[in-house]
């Protein structure tokens, strides 16, 4: 693959902003409308499919949990060793390059929360160990200079199963917009309802994350 | 149905801002707590229910993928021929009216991304071919004049199965707020980590969508 | 439990901003990669697990539907009698304290919409009646003074099954940021596509909720 890494034509799965989402949606439409196999084997396969789709979504959820935690090793655990990521800066390949990229990204973030939405998972029909997960995202990020921004875009993932684990093999991230946010410190006022216990999130959560 | 289209009283499923969501939630509560049928037939029905709920969600995901792609035919593929949509402007009926409405909506958008959240699907207990899908939404839209807005609201869908496909039969869209966003062009800076490949999202995605 | 309510050390499940999310993600990773039991009993358990995870998510969806509806009784129906909630103000215990807290919260909101995202549910391996549901949230709130804000944070839930219903037993809510929004009244313009019916959302939804 390395020798072709600079040829945009090979990235058919990542071509066009919205077409990959529309194409997947119509594939799913056909599949959902197909007759179901009610034999014991068929039932087992259908259950397995639901579990696989859920497991693939779990890897995506882990990616965001680890990203927001700025835990580089944990982020990399979501990727195959030979994974590539195409973003606005280039095509990153392998754990070493991805680590540098996520170190750069997370080092600029005092707080970041990434919402993955509209998740759709499709297993390849001809290969039980490959699948696609597409999603949209919307995030809020606070920099170390206390600048708050809202941003958003999309994800395309090609997933591969290795030793029973679903990992990201190829990933396209579009970063479509960023907007300045007018941050308001939270003032609870003096009419807060009384509580039995005095422990608050301030006692449990690291100071840097509780902006308000 | 046409003769009653101007009588708000007939739209019981769409009455009140939040009550349809609360009512559905309590229906689901009863259903989830009911004893389960562990017979072979019961297991098959339970599996089929999970698959149906997933298929119904897929139609909703297709709707947003096609809406953001501004693909009018693809949007209409999500609706029954006699579908109605109630929004802030009126009650739109059938593919021809819906097409004009979505042409009007999408023609004003250089970029739009719709996040569907809090999706809950319930199959009708007395009719295997009807269901309800409720959801919230939050979206970012950039106009052709480069005005960026954040907006949000809710969806109620009555779904109907036709030839094995789950389609939108009735839809209420509330558009609850819109807020101006202070767009920031993205500056990657000069300390971007190096990557093995030089292909970026700019090589893969249509220019109009990559705002930053 | 009451006597320990002021000891932050007992809230191990709620310690640290992101670690609970990362820990859950790695637990899920192990579980998803484990060999599957294809015996009839195993298949039934696997189906039941998918249904339980869905039922637990439904309680969380009910919580948000009832919160946005400002329906206090309905909100409380999501909690066990002895539930505790840790937030930025304190540790609230039992329905009476939670009722006062949600009355205070909802009374300040003309309109609120809470998006729960990145939901991950894990059943306890050693106890069929306990589970964890973690999620992120992003919300838009309009006050009675027509001040619009965007805010967000995270949820951790410990869930308990009582009489077949999954309820919130312990809840940590982090409120991580709030940002002022520049509200834009929606102007539909004079080129709105014509519709067969004249009923609009204004005929169906309470005035206070339709801000635009």
In chain C, what's the furthest Cα-to-Cα distance? 65
Contact flag A203-C179 (C-beta cutoff 8 Å): no
- C157's CB contacts (< 8 A; 6+ apart) are C60, C132, C133, C134, C135, C168, C169, C170, C171
The DSSP secondary-structure symbol of A80 reads: E
d(C-alpha B26, C-alpha B23), whole Å: 5
Q: What is the average per-residue pLDDT within A66-81?
A: 98
Contact flag C61-B136 (C-beta cutoff 8 Å): no
Q: Which two tokens stand for residue C4?
A: 């320990």
Residue A76 located in a structural domain = yes
Residue B27 located in a structural domain = yes
Contact flag C195-B93 (C-beta cutoff 8 Å): yes
Across the A/B interface, how many CB contacts are shorter than 8 Å? 207
pTM for this model (two decimals): 0.96
Nearest to B112 by CA among B162, B60, B156, B150: B150
| Residue located via tokens 């949509």 | B85
Contact flag C176-A212 (C-beta cutoff 8 Å): yes
Find the CATH number of the domain harbouring B104: 3.10.450.50
ipTM attached to this prediction = 0.96
Give chains near B: 3+ CB pairs under 8 A: A, C
Residue C202 located in a structural domain = no
Chain segment A157-197, per-residue pLDDT in tens: 999 999 999 999 999 999 999 999 999 988 888 889 999 99
Residue B203 located in a structural domain = no
* Strand runs labelled E in chain A: 79-86, 91-93, 109-123, 130-143, 148-162, 165-183
Q: Which two tokens stand for residue A110?
A: 């005092």
Contact flag B33-C193 (C-beta cutoff 8 Å): no
Residue C20 located in a structural domain = no
Range of the domain at A92: 37-184
pLDDT at A212 over 80: no
Helices (runs of H) and strands (runs of E) counted in chain B: 5, 6
Of A32, A103, A117, the CB nearest to B58: A32
Chain segment B197-207, per-residue pLDDT in tens: 999 999 999 98
Please report the pLDDT score of residue C212 as a whole number. 63
User: Which stretches in chain C have pLDDT values below 50?
Assistant: 1
Indicate the number of domains in chain A: 1
d(C-alpha C158, C-alpha A110), whole Å: 27
Of A164, A183, A205, the CB nearest to C179: A183
Cβ atoms of B71 and A16 closer than 8 Å:
no
Contact flag B18-C50 (C-beta cutoff 8 Å): no
Q: What is the average per-residue pLDDT within A51-80?
A: 98
- Min distance A153 CA to chain B CA atoms (Å): 8
Residue B93 located in a structural domain = yes
Task: Please report residues of C whose CB lies closer than 8 A to that of B136.
Answer: 113-115
Please report the pLDDT score of residue A49 as a whole number. 97
Q: Which residue of C has its CA nearest to A164?
A: C33
Cα A87 from chain centroid?
13
Please report the pLDDT score of residue A173 as a whole number. 98
Contact flag A177-B111 (C-beta cutoff 8 Å): yes
Window from A47-51, A95-99, A143-147, B14-18 with minimum mean pLDDT: A143-147
Q: Which residue of A has its CA nearest to B149?
A: A179
Residue C103 located in a structural domain = yes
Tens-binned pLDDT, residue by residue, of chain B (212 aa): 455 788 878 899 999 999 999 999 999 999 999 999 999 999 999 999 999 999 999 999 999 999 999 999 999 999 999 999 999 999 999 999 999 999 999 999 999 999 999 999 999 999 999 999 999 999 999 998 999 999 999 999 999 999 999 999 999 999 999 999 999 988 888 889 999 999 999 999 998 898 76
Please report the pLDDT score of residue B98 as a whole number. 98
Please report the pLDDT score of residue A182 as a whole number. 95
Instruction: Name the 3-class secondary structure at A125.
Output: coil
| Average pLDDT along chain A | 94
Across the A/C interface, how many CB contacts are shorter than 8 Å? 206
Task: Please report residues of B whose CB lies closer than 8 A to that of C138.
Answer: 138
Residue C198 located in a structural domain = no
């Amino acid at each position: 693959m390395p020798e072709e890494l600079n040829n945009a034509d090979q990235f058919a799965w990542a071509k066009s902003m919205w077409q990959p989402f529309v194409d997947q949606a119509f594939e799913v439409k056909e599949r959902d409308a197909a007759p179901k196999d009610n034999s014991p084997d068929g039932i087992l396969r259908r259950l397995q499919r639901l579990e696989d789709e859920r497991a693939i979504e779990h890897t995506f959820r882990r990616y965001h949990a680890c990203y927001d935690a700025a835990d580089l090793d944990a982020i990399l655990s979501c990727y195959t060793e030979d994974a590539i990521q195409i973003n606005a800066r280039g095509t990153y390949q392998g754990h070493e390059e991805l680590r540098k990229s996520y170190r750069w990204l997370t080092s600029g973030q005092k707080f970041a929360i990434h919402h993955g939405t509209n998740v759709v998972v499709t297993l390849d029909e001809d290969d039980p160990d490959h699948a696609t997960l597409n999603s949209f995202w919307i995030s809020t990020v606070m920099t170390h200079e206390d600048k708050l921004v809202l941003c958003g875009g999309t994800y395309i993932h090609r997933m591969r199963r290795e030793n029973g684990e679903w990992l990201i093999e190829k990933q396209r991230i579009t970063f479509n917009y960023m907007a300045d946010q007018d941050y308001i410190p939270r003032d609870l006022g003096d009419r807060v309802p009384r509580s039995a216990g005095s422990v608050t999130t301030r006692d449990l959560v690291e100071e840097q994350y509780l902006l308000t």
